[in-house]
Structure 1
Amino acid sequence: MVVEYIRYTVTADRAAEFEQAYKAASAVLDDDEHCLAYEISRGVEEPEHFVVRIEWDSVEGHEQGFRRSPRFGEFFQAVRPFFDQIDEMKHYEVRQSHRP
């Protein structure tokens, strides 16, 4: 498993639109076999910052499976208006985790 983090800076006047875009895009993530889990978080101290965290079965599952799937266009169409607001989009391997 790998975790993709996408960090955004979104102005306050577009925050609701951003959240709605990911709400629409989440239907595609829900149906994708390579997506294990995801969350969209908004900064408390700095509410213009959002982090999208997506757990994928593998980098290949994300890049060759999801991105080449028939529904990827639907996902990208929903979030594309915010592509220029991305500060970081990278995969990470989990080294340590704890869930009570």
Structure 2
Amino acid sequence: MVAEYIRYQVAADQREALLAAYRQAAAELDAAPECLGYELSECEEEPGQFILRIEWTSTEAHLQGFRKGPQFAGFFAHVKGFYTSIQEMRHYHPTEVARSK
């Protein structure tokens, strides 16, 4: 498993539009076998600062599977308006330092 993190900074008047776009794009992630889960979080201290966490089976599955597969076009159509708002987009693998309840 690998986690992709996408960090967005959007203007206050674009906040609801970003949320709406990802509500629609979520259907494409749900249909993608490469996607294990996702979460879009907004910063409490800095409204308009969002982090999207997508869990993929692997980086290769994301880049070679999802991005070249049937769900990507629909996914991107929903969120492409926010592409210029991306501040970071990278893949991270978990380390042994972890705990979940």
TM-score (normalised: structure 1): 0.98
**Equivalent in the alignment of 2:30:** 30
Whole-Å separation in 2 of the counterparts to 1:32 and 1:19: 20
Which digits, 9 at most, give the CA deviation of each residue in 1:20-53, with x for residues without a partner?
0000000000111110010000110001100000
Shift of 1:97: 2.1
User: Structure 1: which 5+ residue stretches go unaligned?
Assistant: none
| Count of aligned pairs | 100
**Equivalent in the alignment of 1:8:** 8
| Residue type at the aligned position of 2:100 | R
Whole-Å separation in 2 of the counterparts to 1:5 and 1:71: 19
**Equivalent in the alignment of 1:18:** 18
**Equivalent in the alignment of 1:97:** 98
State the identity %: 47
Whole-Å separation in 2 of the counterparts to 1:6 and 1:33: 20
User: Structure 2: which 5+ residue stretches go unaligned?
Assistant: none
Partner SS for 1:46: coil
**Equivalent in the alignment of 1:71:** 71
**Equivalent in the alignment of 2:61:** 61
Write out the 4+ residue segments of structure 1 that deviate beyond 3 Å after TM superposition: none
CA RMSD of aligned residues (A): 0.6
| Residue type at the aligned position of 2:59 | V
